Amino acid sequence: MCNASGSAICTVQIENARTRVTEWRFKKRGDNTGWHRHEHDYVVVPLFDGTLEIKLPEGEVITAPMQNGVPYFRKLGIEHDVLSANDFECAFIEIELLESPSDGT
């Protein structure tokens, strides 16, 4: 999902038929992923303690507290933009599950 047009730096670390692992790095407050919609379920592993802001298409902004090393799971879904709300450089690892859950693996 490294094709978003934001200011955050994305680096694909692993990509194969089953998974895509991407590091998202935010150098400063306000850096963002760019608007995107996940085509697959995914897991995010924050590499910092702090806060991200999630912008939704209707203008709503969700504040999302992050804890270093504590992962969370999300299903594919709604369009959004992720922004750093921190006064320090931060990053997270995004693990996309490329295989359909219905394929039995």
Q: Domain coordinates of the chain in residue numbers?
A: 9-99
C-alpha distances (whole Å) from 41 to each of 62, 77, 86, 95, 97 are: 20, 8, 26, 9, 6
Each residue's pLDDT tens digit, 36-63: 999 999 999 999 999 999 999 999 999 9
Task: Single out the residue of 17, 82, 51 nearest to residue 74, CA to CA.
Answer: 82
Q: Residue 48: how many CB atoms within 10 A of its CB?
A: 18
Nearest to 33 by CA among 23, 43, 42: 23
CA dist., res. 32 & res. 74, Å (int): 19
Look up the pTM and report it.
Answer: 0.90
Instruction: Indicate the CATH number for domain 9-99.
Output: 2.60.120.10
Low-confidence ranges of the chain (pLDDT < 50): 105
